[in-house]
Amino acid sequence: MHANPNSEESPMMTRNDCLARDAADPLAPLRDQFALPQGVIYLDGNSLGARPKAALARAQQVIAQEWGDDLIRSWNQAGWFDLPSRLGDKLAPLIGATAGEVVVTDSTSINLFKALAAALQIQAANPASAARRVIVTERANFPTDIYIAQGLTRWLDRGYVLRLVDSPEQLAAAIDADVALVMLTHVNYRSGHLHDMQALTTHIHAQGALALWDLAHSAGAVQVGLTVCNADFAVGCTYKYLNGGPGAPAFIWVHPRHQHAFQNPLSGWWGHAAPFAMEPDFAATAGIRRALCGTQPIVSLALVECGLDIFLQTDMQTIRSKSLALTDLFIALVEMRCSDHPLGLVTPRAHAQRGSHVSFTHPHGYAVVQALIARGVIGDYREPEIMRFGFTPLYTRFVDVWDAVDALAQILDEKTYDRSAERDAVT
């Protein structure tokens, strides 16, 4: 690998320069609101965000007071029943939506199933699109998205098929008159490639299809404009950049033009128009709450709010600006310090095509990542041979980038990694 002469970062960048950038960073004070272990550089917030300090006290409040003392009264007194909607309204601005369009509930996979089923039903009910039987997605999409679509098409047994596209450049041509729905992840989980949501959504609609976006690797890290881009549906998780906690409930967004026609295939009582009437027949409630299913996990939901409240202290433009600066610096330093090693940049250099994580290949990538973790630099590994490093603008510092690359260079130069290391399961 050779250093990139067109890098936006100066090859003369020093550690002191990074410290100076941190001192001038408008997001720097927000780092103090996270419980980050001493001696650890955490570059895996794209898998699991760090814990907001407020989450511990909030969990204690929910468990000891709201559940322990107030018991069932907390469904009303503590606002438990409205929590999915209240969190959705707080999350909405982060993805370019407005109040009443998002609920936080269930998992990304379950919400994806709901959105897929509803979208296909909407298309089937329209005479102009009823004959369409193709769902387009990328072969490199996160596997669960593909699995959910495969399972739904088998269950429906109506001739629906998946069309897997091998590269972003082939997407436009793959969307034709047979396509009912295009299901894409905004930022690819492995490469960090960022799709042009507006251009693709416009093209999808021009071909008569609907657009469903997975925002798992973009919500809270890159600017998303669901309304501006005129998307149809979106889902995403809250435990990555949104810092909601391990396995925290996900979210689902439905454009207002589809909310009345949205039929939740999991028609549970929380999506009923009168849930406490206990009627034997299902009647969907109005608006986005029809995307709810069963009783909500209140403790987990409550912790999501701790992460969202930190976002209320800044804006996505500032976050995105720092994300690009961090990833620019990381790419430049790796190419400057590690140019004698067989590293390959997987992530696009262009800002318009880059998310908030950077991936490099190395023949012994897994072993190198394990060596980094042993030194307190936590990234992660993805097949094939990909070392992935996430940059969370709310708490990642420029000096963290410098120190992480310094550790990487030393490990590669000294070959202090175990080439025989077995690959454990990584999430």
Active site residues: 142, 214, 239-240, 388
Check: CB of residue 148 under 8 Å from CB of residue 117.
Answer: no
What is the rounded end-to-end Cα distance, in angstroms, of the chain?
Answer: 28
Q: How far apart are CA 347 and CA 59, in angstroms?
A: 37
DSSP 347: S
Nearest to 235 by CA among 91, 421, 109: 109
Q: Measure the CA–CA gap between 385 and 406, rounded to whole angstroms.
A: 21
Q: Are 184 and 212 in contact (CB under 8 A)?
A: yes
Token pair 């034709």 is found at 176
Which residues, in sequence order, are CB contacts of 63 under 8 Å at separation 6+? 299
User: How do 161-165 and 134-138 pair as beta strands?
Assistant: parallel
Residues whose CB falls within 8 Å of the CB of residue 344, separated by 6 or more in sequence, listed in order: 1, 360, 361, 362
With beta carbons less than 8 A apart as the criterion, state whether 333 and 9 touch: yes
Name the residue with tokens 């009303």. 76
Q: What's the Cα-to-Cα distance from 190 to each of 9, 167, 257, 336, 345, rounded to whole Å?
A: 24, 13, 33, 23, 12
